[in-house]
Amino acid sequence: MPTFSLPASPTFQALEQQLQQARTWQVRDLFKQDSGRFDALSFEGAGLFVDFSKNIIDRHTLYLLCDLARDADLSTKRDAMFAGDKINQTEHRAVLHTALRRPAGDHLHVDDQNVIADVQAVLDRMSSFAERVRSGDWQGHDGRAITDIVNIGIGGSYLGPKMTCQALRPFAHPRLKTHFVSNVDGHDLAALLPQLDAATTLFIIASKTFTTSETMTNAQSARAWFLRNAPESELARHFVAVSTQTDLVTQFGIDAANMFPFWDWVGGRYSVWSAIGLSLMLSIGSEQFKAFLAGAHAMDRHFQTAPLESNLPVLMGLIGIWNRNFLGSDSISIAPYHQDLALFPGYLQQLEMESNGKRVHTDGTTVEVATCPVIWGDTGTNGQHAYFQLLHQGTDVMPVDFIAALKPSHTLPHHQERLLANCFAQSEAFMRGKSADEVRSEMRAQGIAESQIEQLVAHRTFPGNRPSTTILLDSLTPATLGALIALYEHKVFVQGVIWGLNSFDQWGVELGKVLAKNIESELTGAPHPDRHDGSTNGLIARARNAAGKTA
């Protein structure tokens, strides 16, 4: 298919004209003018409710943005992804994380192989293993049940499992504690090991190639620690692998029967649905893991079948395009008003910025417009007392995604009402702002002198008109979490299509890895100053001196 160019789209000029009107809008006034605005600009699907009405849009804006999606042939490209076409052109791969959550009995053939049958076979093996650990049937070398699970991985092999295990904490097995080690910085693993008992710890080594530098460094250190506390013959009871490299796995000492594979059509940042999610399945159990998959599949079906005009991922992606390429916003703040979603902003950083942090089209030509904004955030209400000042009164306008569950998983009184009150109030405050006249009226009512009012009025004025989207879940469950993650996955796809990108490669990650190998050899062996610039050579020299190595 030809690469889509946003500025060349027939709808681009119409959106530019719409932008001239939008620059005159105050969203608070749009609500006054249109009593049906909330109903018209809010949508439901797969158990999620999404309110877009506080964005700087009207119904015609959405109409034009959907025309933009039609110009880009989004529906055809979406169908190609679900069909298993090799849409990851630079790596000649299909993109089938959606196949990981399709029901058993479905059929999807890639290169004459029914991948759904393969997925189900691995899922069945994972389920059998997880239930043995959870029941206590799988025991450590001294006959005691496993109490601690340590997932060693990095990138998608770490961010997804850790985020989902925390998000679904209320569903966790009461005996099992999950831990995650990713950083090659030894302080990460060193802080964890003293907390563990080798006889009751299970390590999951998550690396598709079983050669990932950071992961295998941590894995070898964990192996050495275990062998200081137990005989080598017992290693297979305490280490399993998520990988495709049987030879390397067995050389490490892991039984091939306890290696859980996944496929090259599963990208790392889309892999939590695969065997990479083994730590999550161990924590919440196979039935809840299947509910997690089912929630994502429900969003997949919604994305495939809902009209563009009411399709949650499509609208979320298109409004993001409007904010980025027309209104000029260069970052998005993610504000989950649920403590168990504390890691969700970090998860989205990889999902979005590794996918669409690109500067060339699929055909290699330079993109003419800005692509992925910076993704950042923290939980509410913590963010309110940290960086919301900048969002309210700073010089840059940054859209916010508010995420909240209507029902909590705790029984503490008063907390949930106050949490939701803060969430809804912040979205209202960003939209409404506070005018100079409102500030004056408020201070006069407080009996403040006119001279003091005029000194303070500018400081207490809020410009408002700061766009936000609010996503509501009934409660945070495996199914709604699955749907939420899938919503953002498909949003990324939509925006990649509009920007003409390949959202499924990540060549930008590779250069630093290659250079790091060279520098590591110089930190441990002979330096080669001819390979580097003056700064890098100076840094290497200081590190060598600190380690007591001569030049």
- Give the pLDDT confidence of 399-445 residue by residue, as tens digits: 999 999 999 999 999 999 999 999 999 999 999 999 999 999 999 99
C-alpha torsion 72→73→78→80, nearest 10: -120
**Quick one: which of 121, 183, 178 has its CA closest to 153?**
183
What would you measure as the largest C-alpha separation in the chain, in angstroms?
83
Question: In the structure, how many helices (H) and strands (E) does the chain have?
Answer: 23, 13
Q: What is the DSSP letter of 88?
A: B
- Give the residue numbers annotated as catalytic, written as ranges: 354, 385, 513
Q: What is the DSSP string of 242-287?
A: E-S-HHHHHHHT--GGGEE---TTS-GGG-TTTGGGHHHHHHH-HH
pLDDT of residue 2: 66
pLDDT of residue 3: 84
Q: What is the DSSP letter of 309?
A: G
pLDDT of residue 1: 55
3-class DSSP state of 403: strand
Would you report the helix, strand and coil content of the chain in percent, each value rounded to 5?
55, 15, 30
pLDDT tens digits, residue range 175-225?
A: 999 999 999 999 999 999 999 999 999 999 999 999 999 999 999 999 999
Cis peptide before 381 (omega within 30 of 0): yes
pLDDT of residue 550: 75
pTM of the shown model? 0.97
Could you say which residues of the chain have pLDDT below 50?
none
pLDDT of residue 509: 87
Helix (H) or strand (E) holding 45: strand 42-45
